[in-house]
Amino acid sequence: MTVEPGDFPSGDTAGFMNVIVLADSAETAQAKVEAYFATFAWHVIQTESSRALDPDFIADNDEFADMIERARTHPNPIICGTFHSYKTN
């Protein structure tokens, strides 16, 4: 995704993160995520993977496990993980 210059102390304007959203399809999930980030003037430029999680799924990563648990307890979640930024050429 791209972010506005000055949004992060590093000055980086590109990055990625895990996002969990409740949706009835991959297309609906994409639209919700894009609309949410547009409120910050951020833009989703690519989705690496979009899939439904089994209700009994157990994550092996603490951050992702916490995101899943928070999503399970909210009625209309958009849960974002750590933003990993990088410099572009």
pLDDT tens track for 42-67? 999 999 988 888 878 888 889 999 99
Could you read off the pLDDT of 63-86 as tens digits, one per residue?
Answer: 999 999 898 898 889 999 999 998
Its domain, for residue 48, covers 14-86
Contacts of 16 (CB under 8 A, 6+ apart): 1, 48, 83, 84
Asked whether the CA dihedral 78, 42, 85, 14 is positive or negative, the reply is positive
Could you read off the pLDDT of 1-13 as tens digits, one per residue?
Answer: 999 999 999 989 9
Please check whether residue 2 lies inside any domain of the structure.
Answer: no
Number of domains in the chain: 1
Please check whether residue 6 lies inside any domain of the structure.
Answer: no
